[in-house]
Structure 1
Amino acid sequence: MCYSAQVIADYRKLVRNYGAVMSLDDFAKLYFHDPGKARPKTPKAMDDGFLLSDQAEVASIAAEICDWNQDEASRWEKQLFEQKTRLNNAERALQTKVTKKAENDVRVAGNKIAQAEQKLADLRRTEPLSRDSRIFPGVYAPVIVMEGGRRVIKPMRYQCRLEGKPAFYDTKYPGTYNARRDSLESYWREAFGRRHGILVVDTFYENVEGPDGKNQVIQFTPRDRQPMLVACLWSAWTDPKGVEPDLLSFAAITDEPEPEVAAAGHDRTIINIKPEHVDAWLNPDPNNLAALYAIFDDKQHPFYEHRLAA
């Protein structure tokens, strides 16, 4: 499985490097500011692509992101004040008598203060960091699809809920952020050959068992440092009852592991297709699945260097 990935999240780079246009309507729907709802999970790099853009057509999206940022900053500032008060009270109590409660309050408050300060610093920071582009299951990412004969960038959640499946499948089948090649004609048959996408990835992360039997997170990066064009399936889900909001979501397709990935302890690898196959992948013929498997068989094989993730 691809547990996590560092993606090209800035739509401006995707437009410039991959000849795609942006679906303004879909991004506007995603970022619509509703203070009564939870903020959509998006990588900071994707947010900043709008905030730092000088294009007039994305100004309204940037304004929505500013509203979300303001709401989030207010919540973290409130926590910061509350935890500083808690810390001060606990430190005063310890001067009188050492208790487990006061010691615990100092520890917990200190951790929460550090967390709040980090979150506030990230909200205010404009210089990019590599972690700004990292996605996990449940986080939105820009995916390239074909629409009306053009490559189009749409924001999609990294965990695919297939059309017609109930919303509770998200928790019943939490692994649906990946689609195994050997299940494409079974569970994924409604999307395979019909709705294909490309996720542009710089590096990916996997959970493996370490020498001590404990979990380790390993980062895999192509030795040539070229972006990976990851084959994906996607779905446009709507609630037949009209209660749940519409959802665009995707899954990365995985295959048997590359030898160096297997040697590092993981049993799957995302499918990194060649640039010359992108349009064929994005324009699938459901009556010619063999051509799609041929794209997989002719995938790119960069050597994936690995190291323990920081």
Structure 2
Amino acid sequence: MCYSAQIKSDYSKFLRQQVPVMDLAAFARLWLRENGLEREKIPKGVIDTVGPRLPPDVSAALHARFAEDEAAWQAEAFKQAKRKADNERKLQTKVTKAASEHVRIATNKIEQLKGWIADLHRTELKGRDWQFFPQWWVPVIVRDGDDYVVRPMRYQLRQPGTPASSDFTRKGEMSGTYNARRDNLARYWRRQFGYTHGLMVIEEFWENVDKPGGGSQRIKFRPKTGEPMLVACLWANWTDPAGIEPDLPCFAAITDEPEPEVAAAGHDRTIINIKPEHVEAWLNPDPSNLQALYEIFDDKQHPHYEHQVAKVA
């Protein structure tokens, strides 16, 4: 899952013995994290469904951030409208490439800003409101004592004891630690594999694949039958040794060799989609019996993943 995925909104029916509890305190901490600056990395579907269940002071803080965003976007839209009008007047006397380009960019930016503002006020949720990307915050089912809880975690695992800079490579690119390869679980992921397991429920996922003639494109995959995917995950809670940054609950999705149809579409990995009967065993791992966990992977679900070229927003 290198590019993106779409969350399944209902997590309540994938555990046989008990329904997971929504960890509202964890969501409240996320809402307040860095004065709401993480809001832009939380899917709208999560904000709109969990937000009303949070304490009034937390919801007020989130709505204050919404108001700040809207004011900033309105100001930028006014700025872009002026830029567009100024260059349209120039074009009336002389057509230049620079003025035409300014008009094009300003027009596109205005439409984008209008869309962002409309989304703030839209109450009817759409499929794209559940889509997330690496470093976004996603609801994950985990074990907490005797209970199962749904808790927000960042989709990129930062190993405890490593610096925050480990999220990126030396070239400044995002590291690939939002995915955990099955063949590396006993090495790089050994502190999580067999200890801290999670489950993410998604409906579809996207991959970046190479085009035959060069370049890349985004491909959307979805089980042909439409059933949700139960994605095996590992998680950790990173703490800042200096005590400056807030704690970072974070996770990675486990990937395996690609399903045939995924490979045929051009991608070399597929998330591990476990069967419902293995959910509780996965969320209650025995670190002394890792072979049992590998057997869960060997018995994973194999839905046929239909695919199509995804539209770029």
Common topology (TM > 0.5): yes
Q: Which residue of 1 aligns with 2:251?
A: 250
Does the Cα contact within 8 Å between 1:2 and 1:269 map onto a contact in 2? no
- 1:127 equivalenced with 2:128 (yes/no): no
1:229 aligns to what SS in structure 2?
strand
Q: Which residue of 2 aligns with 1:215?
A: 216
Does the Cα contact within 8 Å between 1:2 and 1:252 map onto a contact in 2? no
Q: Matches of 1:43 and 1:308 in 2, distance apart?
A: 22
Q: 1:223 deviation in Å?
A: 1.1
Q: Matches of 1:249 and 1:35 in 2, distance apart?
A: 19
- 1:239 equivalenced with 2:218 (yes/no): no
Calculate the aligned-residue CA RMSD, in Å: 1.8
2:252 aligns to what SS in structure 1?
strand
* Structure 2 residues without counterparts, runs of 5 or longer: none
Name whichever of 100-109 and 203-212 sits farther off. Answer: 100-109
Q: Matches of 1:62 and 1:35 in 2, distance apart?
A: 12
Name whichever of 73-82 and 101-110 sits farther off. Answer: 101-110
Q: Which segments of structure 1 move beyond 6 Å, counting only runs of 4 or more?
A: none
Does the Cα contact within 8 Å between 1:257 and 1:268 map onto a contact in 2? yes
Question: Following superposition of structure 1 onto structure 2, how do residues 1-310 of structure 1 map, counting pairs within 5 Å?
Answer: 1-8=1-8, 10=9, 13-15=10-12, 18=15, 19-32=19-32, 35=35, 37=37, 39=39, 41-51=41-51, 53=52, 55=53, 57-172=54-169, 174-310=175-311
Q: Matches of 1:183 and 1:129 in 2, distance apart?
A: 36
Q: Matches of 1:222 and 1:36 in 2, distance apart?
A: 35
Does the Cα contact within 8 Å between 2:30 and 2:38 map onto a contact in 1? no
Distance 1:33 1:287, change over 3 A: closer
Distance 1:150 1:229, change over 3 A: same
Does the Cα contact within 8 Å between 1:210 and 1:216 map onto a contact in 2? yes
Task: State the identity as a percent.
Answer: 54
Encode CA deviations 1:144-184: one digit per residue, 9 max, x unaligned.
Answer: 00001111011011111011111111012611110000000
Aligned length: 304
Distance 1:236 1:34, change over 3 A: closer
Does the Cα contact within 8 Å between 1:24 and 1:58 map onto a contact in 2? no
Q: 1:60 deviation in Å?
A: 4.4
Distance 1:152 1:38, change over 3 A: closer
Does the Cα contact within 8 Å between 2:14 and 2:276 map onto a contact in 1? no
Distance 1:203 1:150, change over 3 A: same
Does the Cα contact within 8 Å between 2:84 and 2:102 map onto a contact in 1? yes
Q: Matches of 1:305 and 1:110 in 2, distance apart?
A: 36
Q: 1:102 deviation in Å?
A: 2.3
Give the AA of the match of 1:217: R
**TM-score computed with the length of structure 1 as normaliser:** 0.92
Encode CA deviations 1:33-60: one digit per residue, 9 max, x unaligned.
Answer: 7558564511111111134x4x4x5544
Distance 1:101 1:213, change over 3 A: closer
Give the AA of the match of 2:5: A
1:164 aligns to what SS in structure 2?
coil
Distance 1:38 1:58, change over 3 A: closer
Name whichever of 33-42 and 277-286 sits farther off. Answer: 33-42
Does the Cα contact within 8 Å between 2:4 and 2:133 map onto a contact in 1? yes
Give the AA of the match of 1:73: E
**TM-score computed with the length of structure 2 as normaliser:** 0.92
Give the AA of the match of 2:76: Q
* Structure 1 residues without counterparts, runs of 5 or longer: none
Give the AA of the match of 1:246: D
Does the Cα contact within 8 Å between 2:255 and 2:271 map onto a contact in 1? yes
1:14 aligns to what SS in structure 2?
coil
